Amino acid sequence: MFVQRCINSDCRSEFDLAARIYVCSRCGNLLDIEKTSRVLDEAGDLQELWNSRLTKPFTLRDRSGVWRFIEFLPFLESDAIVSLGEGNTPLYDAPRCAAYCGLDSLRLKHQGNNPTGSFKDTGMTIAVTQALKLGIKLVACASTGNTAASLAAYAARANLVCAILVPEGQVSEAKLAQALDYGAKVIEIEGNFDVCMRVIQELAEQDLLYLVNSINPFRIEGQKTVAFELSEQLQWEPPDHLIVPGGNLGNSSAFGKGFRELLGHGLTRKQPRISVIQAEGAAPFARFFATNGETEFVNEEHPQTLALAIKIGAPVSWKKGWRAVRETGGRVISVTEQEIADAKAMIGRDGIGCEPASATTVAGIRKLVKDGFIKREDSVVAVLTGHVLKDTDYVIRYHSDTLVAPGQRIRGTFANTITRVAARPCAIESVLKNLS
């Protein structure tokens, strides 16, 4: 049995799963999906069951890295699901990045290896499945690009009409291209992501559409399964530190919930410290953390960063993100545009690659190691949220030393420049001889 429950400890109002709401209709706070009955299976039996599904004859339901964990999801085995085979993403060792950060080792959980190239798919499979269950016709979201691409794909699979609201000129071409190809109605507006979010929430209140941004608690249910999958990959021993980028703060919220549930059901013995990294020009959560949560949460009016995915000044899920960080003893810090760009190049040099927003993690870890919060020998996992091909313009500019952030030029510290030579073997040979 599952219900929707208000996260405000003074309210705790309960709503049916079928209630088409996004926030508590009494006090306006965020909602959690809560399991009201315990999973009766022993931890060991569940772990075995989840693993065994991976080797079953191929069905998306069994193999999906989200639906594999259905015992902790608010659906029945008999429900029709919308899946593209999301999840089951690799956990890579990243020795170059580890050395760069001052760690003995570092692992990168690459959520960019999802069907549409970002972590959004793990949440979207659940949210669109819920839309189908509710008999919704029109699904929608505001987006900096990845949510849009993901929703567009899952809506297409489910045969639902899909509209996305994006800030004009602030979404990478690759992400827009995906949304267009998957058949979504793309609506550009003047104004940033926060404006898109505000407007679409107003429309959702009028029941004109079903909103699947991460304010929708079903999204979080899907994304929490990454904590399950990651724990499984680590033989059910979570790392000391988990580092995630922070934008709207749905992802950090989801990891907090996932690891809380794992511990609560005896599936693991500890929660990792969850730390969130923001871009310096879009860091309201880091500022809130710096006051120890003792001030009002102040939005950033004019967020600025080349990491467009996290160019967000008014994160809708900050209360859940705060709960995850506080409960696990993590930190929230910001990193500069230069630090993000260099960390991204380093992730590339490990043969992995990611989009700019994801690279905040490695930049953040480097800082957290320097100030002693993370120890050299700690086990650390960084979550890469998007694929390297999500923003190739940024990559090419960095490597040609022409990347410019608002008011500053970014150095191509690890730039890998293209060499132009005449089409003659001897010219190419001289280049090859100089390679080390």
Give the footprint of ligand F0G on this chain (CB under 6 A).
Answer: 118, 120, 143-147, 214, 245-251, 309-310, 355, 357-358, 385-386
Alpha carbon of residue 67 to chain centroid: 18
The Cα 140–Cα 321 span in angstroms is: 23
Query: Rounded CA gap, 118 and 145, in Å?
Result: 10
Rank residues 267 and 355 by Cβ distance to ligand F0G and give the closer one: 355
Q: Hey, what are 111's tokens? A: 């959520």
Distances (CA, A) of 428 to 22, 368, 415, 417, 432: 60, 43, 20, 15, 6
Query: How remote is the C-alpha of 311 from its chain's centroid?
Result: 14
Residue 387 CB, shortest distance to ligand F0G, in Å, is 9
Q: How far is the CB of 401 from ligand F0G (least distance, A)?
A: 24
Pick the closer one to ligand F0G by CB: 229 or 355.
Answer: 355
C-beta of 102: minimal distance to ligand F0G in Å? 24
Please name which of 10, 47, 45, 48 lies closest in space to residue 29, comparing C-alpha atoms: 10
Residue 288 · residue 297 · CB < 8 Å:
yes
**Given the complex with ligand F0G, which of 222 and 250 has the nearer CB atom?**
250
Q: Are 289 and 246 in contact (CB under 8 A)?
A: no
Closer CB to ligand F0G, 133 or 246, in the complex:
246
**Closer residue to ligand F0G in complex, CB, 63/121:** 121
Give the nearest distance from C-beta 247 to ligand F0G in angstroms. Answer: 3
Q: What is the three-class DSSP state of 165?
A: strand
Intra-chain end-to-end CA distance of the chain, in Å: 61
Q: Which is nearer to ligand F0G, 369 or 384 (CB)?
A: 384
Compare residues 267 and 384 and give the one whose CB is closer to ligand F0G.
Answer: 384
What is the separation of C-alpha 303 from the centre of its chain, rounded to a whole number of angstroms?
19
* Nearest approach, Cβ of residue 308 and ligand F0G (Å): 8
Closest to ligand F0G by CB, 46 or 146 = 146
Least distance (Å) between residue 310 CB and ligand F0G: 5
Distances (CA, A) of 75 to 26, 221, 307: 25, 11, 35
Which of 253, 247, 243, 263 is closest to 221 using CA atoms?
253
Q: Output the smallest distance, CB 262 to ligand F0G, in A.
A: 20
**50 vs 285, which CB is nearer to ligand F0G?**
285
Distance CA 88, CA 226 (A): 8
Least distance (Å) between residue 385 CB and ligand F0G? 3
Least distance CB 104 / ligand F0G (angstroms): 26
Helix (H) or strand (E) holding 126, with range, is helix 120-134
The candidate with the shortest Cα–Cα distance to 382, out of 289, 259, 275, is 275
| Tokens at 372, concatenated | 């002693």
The distance of closest approach from Cβ of residue 145 to ligand F0G in the complex, given in angstroms and rounded to an integer, is: 5
Smallest CA-to-CA distance from 186 within 206, 168, 208, 209 is with 168
Q: Looking at beta carbons only, is 267 or 325 nearer to ligand F0G?
A: 325
Who contacts 144 (Cβ-Cβ below 8 Å, separation ≥6)?
Answer: 166, 167, 170, 171, 193, 247, 308, 309, 310, 311, 312
